[in-house]
A and B are shown apart, each in its own frame.
Chain A
Amino acid sequence: MRALLNQRLLTLAVLAVIISLLPFVFPSSYYFRVASLVWVSALAAIGLNILMGQAGQVSLGHAAFFGIGAYAVAIGPTHLGIPPWAALLIGAILSSVLAYLVGRPILRLKGHYLAIATLGLGVLVALVISTESRWTGGPDGMPVERLTLFGWRVSGSYTWYWVTGALLLVGTWIALNLDETPTGRAFRALHDSEVAAQVVGVDVARFKLQAFVIAAVYASLAGSALAFMNGFINPDQAGFIHSVELVTIVVLGGLGSVVGSIVGAAVLVTLPQALTVFHEYEHLLLGLIIIVSMIFMRNGIVPSLSGLFLRRARS
């Protein structure tokens, strides 16, 4: 147990050190912006990884919760006069309630049915957001009021780098801890074999639902953070493509690996920026890199590489 705790602390410490040292090598605030985007995507991916990696369920509509979080902080202050920070909480609560209500029937489904049901949920939410233009500004999106905390106006790439970095640290800490709680162990049991989990007395439906709600809250908070950071939001963030991106981050980084989600996000966010020098071959190369890494690192980047190092260390 002690060793485990140390390992968790070590992971967290390394992440904290990376976040605080990166600014020393960043030449301009553009790099801060890209890094903040990595932290935000990683936060959403860590949540989704709890559902996919730990509880073994697929969600193809996860951007819906991201969108709810983002639009909560856009609509709340603009149309209803709710303070931005309260809107953030309301978004998280709305997401968890929706995940709970929708998850109850959906999570009794298995395999492809579950994937299709979550896909449907994602499409529905995106549709509502782009159609209810009176509230959401329609397909062109809407501006978001800046976040103010105790009279401090949170804006600028530097500030958001630290805010999103801190959010990611907290999110990582919770996810790492969850892994070692009875709930986390129940998730793992679910992932390995639902039947076996049921036999040893795990309430399968309840734990699936819990994982779904946790994942929704993560995505919602990440969505709110992005909306505040950009000062602008449009329905793309709640759309199907974004859902696929989140799933790709999780799978690419490594199912069940918290660090993997962060690495996956880093790769998927920075790669398109790095590949712009290739102009029209950009998308081709992006696809190629993802395909190649999935072929040679079938379990995802982090689990594959750490497995490799462990084997090397032993021999």
Chain B
Amino acid sequence: MKSKATLKILLAAGVMGFGLSEGALAQNSVKIGSVLSVTGPSSFLGEPEDKTLRIYVDKINAAGGVAGKKIELVIYDDGGDANKARTFATRLIEDDEVVAMVGGTTTGATMAMIPVFEDAKIPFISLAGAIEVIDPVRKFVFKTPHTDKMACEKIFEDLKKRNLTKIGLISGTDGFGASMRAQCVKVAPNYGMQIVADENYGPRDSDMTAQLTKIKNTAGVQAVVNPGFGQGPAIVTRNYAQLGMNSIPFYQSHGVASKSFIELAGAAAEGVRLPAAALLVGDKLPESDPQKKVVTEYKQAYESATKQPVSTFGGHAYDGLFILVEAMKRANSTDPQKVRDEIEKTKGFVGTGGIVNMSPTDHLGLDLSAFRVLEIKGGDWNLVASGS
């Protein structure tokens, strides 16, 4: 790197007199940047995102690129550290001179990088979950994953259909759990939900029977919701079965939407419901479903290239990349300002996360139909028919 920097300075000094710049060399390619948590505690999110971007950028380039240019992908690993993410964001803009960014694995990293992209007026499509990324709307910031608020609303919608209104919450104190709990408490009155018990646990706790016993002994609890992430929800699910609480309907969040949750929770996961993207049940979707084609193709491409099961997290990166590429195609340009305007005009984009309709006041563009309610049966995800 040092030698590269020195070389650059020499080059810059050398060509100054000729009025040339590096840009002249790279005219036939367009740089897209990404900062992901490929290693560290969030690597289970960042790794599939990283692989997805690499697979599809190769595919796009093999098909001739975008707006007449080949895509050059620059990915940096922040290791889950928001401060590093911010430095890499500066590097992408100042040093690599990217025209757009698809990345930001965690909410923390995304929030730390937002000011950099806003200042530089470079479009930034985030892959982080929390609603504060796009609320309030920032001119150059978009995101693809569903928000935790939508997950709460989807769960409450399903509860309402089943005429259950008194719920107990048990949430993790990590970023995901705390943020989703706050959103659930906020939207509960809109669905006539009454939160009668509200417990929490640390992200590394290994037993939650105390909190669950308290919920069990609270009079009138009709259903339990567990906003959480990682291994916590699997332990809660096991404890739930051990305490014989199966008669009370149990809801997990989209945070557990990966096969490893079913493996960790084992038989205790039977009957658990959760809101999740169509990607998880791609093969079980009816042929008429508009997302069927996209999710089965993505699943196949990802699994054949990586030999690993597909996850919704990689799907978010797929959606982000293609929203960006299609905006570039429509603009027939790679000018950041024009691309931003086109991203905002995205309408009817069918992604793995749902159908995206963006607007100047909505930089996510997903509605509740993007979520499907799933039930775990026989160790696998199953679609819950609406109304049951």
Contacts and interface: CB of A to CB of B under 8 A. Distances in A.
A77 interface: no
Contacts of A130: 173
18 contacts: A28-B95, A29-B90, A30-B87, A31-B5, A37-B87, A130-B173, A131-B173, A133-B178, A138-B175, A141-B82, A141-B111, A141-B112, A232-B82, A232-B112, A234-B108, A234-B111, A234-B112, A273-B91
Nearest to B5: A27
Contacts of A30: 87, 90-91, 93-95
A77 to B, nearest CB: 16
A261 interface: no
B83 interface: yes
A275 interface: yes
Interface of A: 25, 27-31, 33-34, 37, 130-131, 133, 138-141, 143, 157, 226, 230-232, 234, 236-237, 272-277, 282-283
A27 B90 contact: no
A234 B8 CA distance: 34
A294 B48 CA distance: 35
Contacts of A33: 87, 90-91, 94
Contacts of A140: 106-108, 111, 130, 132, 175, 179
Contacts of B108: 139-141, 234, 236
B361 interface: no
A234 B179 contact: no
Contact of B1 (A131, A237, A274): A274
Given A140-B111, A234-B111, A273-B1, 6 more contacts: A27-B9, A30-B87, A234-B108, A274-B2, A276-B1, A276-B77
B208 to A, nearest CB: 17
Interface residues of B, number: 35
A226 B86 CA distance: 12
A275 B1 contact: yes
Contacts of B107: 140
Contact of A236 (B83, B87, B130): B83
A80 to B, nearest CB: 21
Interface string B39-51: 1000000000000
B178 A138 contact: yes
B1 A277 contact: yes
B82 A272 contact: no
B349 interface: no
Given A30-B95, A131-B173, A273 B9 contact: no
A301 B1 CA distance: 20
Nearest to B109: A234
Contact of A226 (B81, B83, B132, B174): B83
Interface string B260-303: 00000000000000000000000000000000000000000000
Contacts of A272: 84
Query: DSSP majority for the A interface?
Result: helix
A230 B2 contact: no
A131 B202 CA distance: 9
B73 to A, nearest CB: 12
B250 to A, nearest CB: 25
A242 to B, nearest CB: 9
Contact of A230 (B1, B9, B112): B112
B45 to A, nearest CB: 14
Contacts of A157: 90
A145 to B, nearest CB: 12
Contact of B111 (A29, A232, A237): A232
A29 B94 contact: yes
Nearest to B74: A276
Interface string B183-224: 000000000000000000000000000000000000000000
Contacts of A34: 87
B336 interface: no
B115 interface: yes
Contact of A25 (B9, B91, B175): B9
Contact of A139 (B4, B76, B77, B178): B178
A290 B120 CA distance: 35
Nearest to B129: A140
Contacts of A37: 83, 87
A108 to B, nearest CB: 31
Contacts of B90: 29-30, 33, 157
A139 B82 CA distance: 11
B12 interface: yes
Contacts of B132: 140
Contacts of B175: 138-140
A273 B87 contact: yes
Which of B82, B84, B93 has the most chain A CB atoms closer than 10 A to its own CB? B82
A138 B176 CA distance: 10
Which of A31, A34, A140, A141 has the most chain B CB atoms closer than 10 A to its own CB? A140
Q: Which 8 A-B pairs have the closest CB atoms?
A: A274-B1, A139-B175, A30-B94, A28-B94, A30-B95, A140-B175, A232-B112, A234-B108
A7 to B, nearest CB: 29
A143 B173 contact: no
B265 to A, nearest CB: 24
A98 to B, nearest CB: 23
A292 to B, nearest CB: 17
Contacts of A226: 83
A141 B110 CA distance: 11
A236 B1 CA distance: 27
A8 B160 CA distance: 74
Contact of B83 (A133, A237, A274): A237
Contacts of A234: 82-83, 108, 111-112
Nearest to B75: A279
